[in-house]
């Protein structure tokens, strides 16, 4: 598990966005294309932020089962 997954999923999302661009129905073409590409981009950015924050958390969990003299300050 690492940053490589972010690039792999990014490539997959780009392929899905390209497919939705070319396979869009002819009715309301511009609306469908922009909605599909923006939806995929926003979903990818949200997933990427969540995934990367889980890889490097700002606050680490603290153990509660240690005795008082062994606890970190």
* pLDDT tens column, 2-42: 788 889 999 999 999 999 999 988 898 999 999 999 999 99
Entry field: residues in the chain: 73
Exposure class string for 30-59: b at 16+ Cβ within 10 A, else e: eebbeebbeebeeebeeebeeeeeeeeeee
DSSP 65: S
pLDDT value for 8: 93
Residues contacting residue 20 through CB under 8 Å, at least 6 positions apart: 32, 33, 36, 37, 40
What distance in Å separates the CA atoms of residue 26 and residue 60, rounded to the nearest whole number? 51
């Amino acid at each position: 598990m690492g940053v490589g997954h972010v690039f792999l999923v990014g490539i997959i999302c780009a392929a899905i966005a390209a497919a939705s661009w070319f396979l869009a129905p002819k009715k309301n073409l511009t609306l469908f294309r922009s909605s599909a590409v923006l939806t995929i981009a926003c979903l990818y950015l949200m997933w990427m932020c969540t995934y990367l924050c889980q890889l490097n958390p700002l606050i680490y969990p603290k153990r509660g089962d240690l005795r008082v003299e062994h606890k970190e300050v």
